[in-house]
Amino acid sequence: MPKKKKKTYAQQAVGLATMGMPAPVQGVLSSRWGATIAIIAVPILIGLGILSVNWVNGMPQFSFNRDRAVEVGREVETRAIKAAQLIEQQRQQQQQPSQWR
């Protein structure tokens, strides 16, 4: 019988945080990739105001703010469009022959 891989610290932390969640959710989040992504993504989502955590009787309860997620998505889209336009302008300027050469 093969040995089980040792759980990472991220997996252990996510396992504790997801104790009250359904088994399928726990399984995905406590996998190697799921735990790593959760450790990176959850603080970012909390910082952006998309995800909030409320502690009830020592158990975390997560709330997803859909309106804030849409708002952040629009902001990201606007910034991406502006960045693409700026890159295109710079590319066009580099392609034009210089008069001072």
Residue-wise pLDDT tens digits, 49-87: 999 988 888 877 889 999 999 999 999 999 999 999 999
Q: Is 101's pLDDT higher than 60? A: no
Residue-wise pLDDT tens digits, 30-48: 888 989 898 999 899 999 9
Q: Which residues contact 4 (CB under 8 A, 6 or more apart)?
A: none
Distance of CA 54 to the CA centre of its chain: 19
